[in-house]
Structure formats: structure tokens, C-alpha cells
Amino acid sequence: MAEEQEEAGHLLAKANGHAQKKMNGTVQQRPVESEIYEEENIFLFIPNLIGYARIILAVASLYYMPLHPRTCSGLYSFSCILDAADGMAARRYNQGTTFGAVLDMVTDRCTTSCLLVFLASAFPRWAIVFQGLISLDLASHYIHMYATLTMTGQSHKKVDSSRSYILHLYYTNRVVLFMFCALNETFFIALYLLSFSSPLLSPSLLVTNENGLTSAQPGSPAHPKHSTLFANPWSAAALEMARANKMDSTIPWIVAGISAPVMFGKQVINVIQLVKASKWLSEGDVAARRKAGIAPKKKRA
């Protein structure tokens, strides 16, 4: 009796699963998914449009970076501020997407790397430090994202507290995440401004005249002569170079001092993220090798 009921249940489920049903002598088609939902263009979602605006602002800031410190800092900072706006828009309009998350991360990594490349050229003695920061930033985020997508299929911001309390707090607390990211970028922007305003960090800003007196030299960290770059000394770029020397380094020094501890903490988080993600991937590899039967077995005593 139980077997007959089980068989009847299977037949009923099979009948209910058919795509067509006969009703009143007519055949009624099951609605196709495309007929139920409206067409959506993920690329035109509001958070992704904000992401495109961030890219445009970032590219513009890179264009002005060598000679226009004020313009570059403004554009770069505005691009970073929009980093918070796209997340707010995604939650507000329920338009969170995998493409948007990847676009956001790639934009962050690329813009920060480009700024660090400039700092490496502005401070050649510390180039290896900036190169290390670029490598750590790219490696930790790539491996972390790959690990979360491979092991859970979820966003890189979905970190369980049992795996890492620090990463869980970092990614789930929006205030913590925003402060770390914002102050990390703020430190590098302050360092960028110091390369134009502080002879202490950029000795190339100093020039010695025939009397042996040292004075500040207007221009970029490499301080090329105007005549070698601009035929007209009153051009916009030449004037910006002259204005660069008039930048006071007090505020950039204060901003750099305040944001430096957070920047250092961000690098510690990157290291933790790199180590945890690497261990997580190795656990997945061990499980996959055991499932495939290629892992070495313990020898019996």
C-alpha cells in the first residue's frame, strides 16, 4: 500500500510538472519567463551609471595629475566620494548586481594603483614601498573575491564572522568600510599634494642660486623648466606649475598624519584578507582532491 501511494505521488508530481495543461478542450501554454518579467539592461542601472561617472572622473584626474595638483585632487576625491553613492543607490533602488560589484572593485583597484604609480615616480627612493602596496592591494582583493565566489558563490563582502571577525566587521559595517577606504585614499592624496609643496619630501623643489642660497622651485616633483615643456610661459599649465610652489604643506601634513594610522590598518586588513582567502582556497582544494580520490590516504599502522 505504501509503495502504491509513493508511485501515485510520483505520477502526480510528473503530471503537475508538464508544461501544458488541457483545460476545456484547449491547450494552455505555461507562461514563458520572458513574458512574465520586463526586459532589464543591467548596464544602465543607476549604481552602474554612477560607476561609469567614477571612471570618467578618475581618468580626468590622471590627465591632470602630473601638473595640476589642485584639479587632480578635486576630481580624484569626487570619484572616491561617489564610491559610497553607488552602494546607496543599489540599496535604494534594489539594483545590486554582480557586475556592479566587480565594476566597483576594479575601479577602486585601478585608480589607487595609478595614484601609487605617480607617487613611486615622485618619491623614487620609496618606489619599492609603493610597488609593494600596489601588489598587496591587487593580490589580496583578487584572491579574496575568487575565494568567496568559488567557495560560496556569493559577493566578496559576505564574510562569515567564524572565518574572520575582522573581515566580517570590515565588510558588513558600512561606517567602518567607508572610513577605512576614505582615509586610506585621503592619505595618498595628501602625500600627492606634499610632493608638490614639501621640499622636505621632494628635494627637487629646492634650487640653489649662484650665491649659494636655497629657495623653493615651482613645478612638479621633477621640476622641469617651463621652457622645456611650454613655449608660452603664461599658458595654463605653466601657471599651474608656478602655483604649485605656493601650496602650503601644513594642511597636507596634518591630513597625512591623521589618516596614516588608518592607512596602515588598511594594509594590515589586506594582509589578513590575503592569508585567509589563500587558506580558504587550500581547504577547497583538499576537499576536491579527496572527493576525486587523488589525495594520499593515511597508512594503517
Round to whole Å and give the CA distance between 1 and 272: 60
User: What whole-number distance in Å separates Cα of residue 207 and Cα of residue 221?
Assistant: 12
Active site residue 83: no
Is 42 in contact with 48 (CB distance < 8 Å)?
A: yes
Q: How far apart are CA 253 and CA 192, in angstroms?
A: 11
Q: How many CA atoms lie within 13 A of 235 on its CB side?
A: 12
Count of C-beta atoms within a 10 Å radius of residue 111: 22
- Looking at residue 156, the DSSP 8-state letter turns out to be T
Contact indicator for 220, 199 with CB cutoff of 8 Å: no
- What is the helix, strand, coil percentage profile of the chain, to 5? 70, 5, 25
Nearest-angstrom CA–CA distance, 92 and 156: 20
- β-pairing, 26-29 vs 206-208, is unpaired
Catalytic annotation, pick one of 83, 86, 104, 108: 108
Tell me which H or E stretch contains 226.
helix 226-229
Q: How many residues appear in the chain? A: 301
With contact defined as beta carbons under 8 Å apart, do 48 and 100 qualify? yes
Catalytic residues: 108
